[in-house]
Amino acid sequence: MLRIAEHFSASDLGRQRQGNEDNLFVRAPLFVVADGMGGAQAGEVASEMAVESFDGGLPDGAPAEGLVKLIEDANRRIHDRSRAEAQRAGMGTTVTAAYVGEREVTIAHVGDSRAYLLRDDDLIRLTRDHSLVGELVARGKLTEEQAETHPQRSVITRALGPEPDVQVDVDAYQARAGDVFMVCSDGLTSMVPEARVKPILVGSGSLEQAGRELIAAANEAGGRDNITVILFRLEEVGGMDAGAGEYETREGDAVQEPPQGVSRRDGPAEGRTGTMEAARPKARLIEEPPVRTAPPPDRRRRRRRRVPGAVVAIALVLLIAGAGLWTASRAVYFVGVDDASGSVTLYRGLPYDLPFGLELYDRFYTSGVTLAQVPERRRAVFTEHKLRSKDDAENLVNELERGRIQ
């Protein structure tokens, strides 16, 4: 039987952000990181809602099923709130959760926060980024090294909040004594390459030292984003009944208080040790998404009209093209002007209107600056509808709101 021998958690503002949109949840045997996105404080709200969903612990049943249910429920709440409150429109968050069972660690994941395993001096990434460059790496179009410096690396393709439903990657990994797991936001991995992370984890005398060095390294590299790191190490125990004591950490374990505005949920162990069917030891993430069974079809007899094959073929081509265009529109942003208020506005999607009133974009964030307030010679920047990454578009609007566009 395994238990958590030592753990560390901390969140840092970084050097370039005004607020911290990261949130974390630390209550052994459950560890969660969420990295919010959205204008104003919407990202902080979304990530807070995500970690709050774990307050009650996992529901009864297999850990994988419980993690997926909690994340799907959080997604619906975030999505509903973003539609109900104009100031929260377009908010979303990543989430990466790790649950320690008797012999397995179950990882559930949406977005580009990450989970890693350090075993026998090997650093193994357990999650795949749901981002534009992550998809390109998966298809062999980019190498990992190219992805680390790609200008579109921050464009997310899957997150909690933007859509009413979300697909959650979940997998269980056979664990053993001495394993060190890391869950972190991309504020770490976008600043510190894996080749640098590994020697810090291997060479540090404690998880606290390792965690502090990782955060310092991210800040020294520029600290462009908030940085959140959770580390925990497992050890073997024998002759203990399954219960809360299995997960209680030892005196002196490092659990750091995050700065103001960051959620830390730390309390007594849950004592849930539900197990899944034995999984094979894995060294890499299973790339295939979880298989979902479709509901049984309605078997009542219906009278059907024959449709010419050519019509069906054309409809399928249009459907496939439309689906591809819609998927692409979720990964890009542009800056424009709201017709009603004249305010400079950040949109997600492609700047095109289709027949029948269909739009390939939606409002992501409305600034407090109208186009009339922008110097005339700079107005074209906000009306040309150039496609941008999320960070690039947000930075442009932020610079405008701070009066730095002259």
Q: What is the DSSP letter of 404?
A: -
Tell which phi-psi region holds residue 26, choosing left (phi > 0), alpha (psi between -120 and 50) or beta: beta
Among the ranges given (21-25, 98-102, 316-320, 340-344), the one the predictor scored with the smallest mean pLDDT: 316-320
Q: What is the DSSP letter of 256?
A: P
- The strand pairing partners of 372, in sequence order, are none
Q: Is the separation of the CB atoms in 275 and 58 below 8 Å?
A: no
Instruction: Say how many C-beta atoms besides its own lie within 10 A of residue 236's C-beta.
Output: 11
Q: Where are the alpha helices (DSSP H) in 19-62?
A: 42-52
Distance separating alpha carbons of residues 183 and 202, to the nearest angstrom: 16
Instruction: Say how many C-beta atoms besides its own lie within 10 A of residue 168's C-beta.
Output: 21
385: pLDDT strictly greater than 50: yes
Among the ranges given (142-156, 277-291, 301-315), the one the predictor scored with the smallest mean pLDDT: 277-291
pTM of model > 0.85 = no
51 phi and psi angles, rounded to 5 deg: -75, -30
230: pLDDT strictly greater than 50: yes
Distance separating alpha carbons of residues 171 and 234, to the nearest angstrom: 18
| Tens digit of each residue's pLDDT (9 = 90 or more) over 257-269 | 444 334 444 433 3
Please name the residues in contact with 311: beta carbons below 8 A apart, sequence gap of 6 or more.
Answer: none
Distance separating alpha carbons of residues 87 and 364, to the nearest angstrom: 9
| Tens digit of each residue's pLDDT (9 = 90 or more) over 168-224 | 999 999 999 999 999 999 999 999 999 999 999 999 999 999 999 999 999 999 999
End-to-end CA distance of the chain: 63
pLDDT confidence of residue 320: 59
Distance separating alpha carbons of residues 225 and 207, to the nearest angstrom: 22
Q: Which amino acid is at 368?
A: G
105: pLDDT strictly greater than 50: yes
Domains of the chain by residue range: 2-247, 333-401
Going from the C-alpha of 199 to that of each of 192, 213, 214, the distances in angstroms are 12, 11, 10
**In which band, very low, low, confident or very high, does the pLDDT at 315 lie, cut at 50, 70 and 90?**
low
* Strand ranges (E), 126-271: 169-174, 180-184, 227-236
Spell out a b/e string for 360-378, using b for 16 or more CB atoms within 10 Å of the CB, else e.
Answer: bbebbbbbebebeebeeee
Q: Where are the alpha helices (DSSP H) in 85-185?
A: 132-138, 144-149
The top-level CATH class assigned to 2-247 is alpha beta
pLDDT confidence of residue 263: 46
Q: Is the separation of the CB atoms in 42 and 133 below 8 Å?
A: no
Coil, helix or strand at residue 83:
helix
Q: Give 3-state DSSP helix, strand, coil % of the chain, rounded to 5.
A: 30, 25, 45
Among the ranges given (146-150, 183-187, 246-250), the one the predictor scored with the smallest mean pLDDT: 246-250
Distance separating alpha carbons of residues 182 and 123, to the nearest angstrom: 10
pLDDT confidence of residue 377: 87
Coil, helix or strand at residue 343:
strand
| Tens digit of each residue's pLDDT (9 = 90 or more) over 39-49 | 656 899 999 99
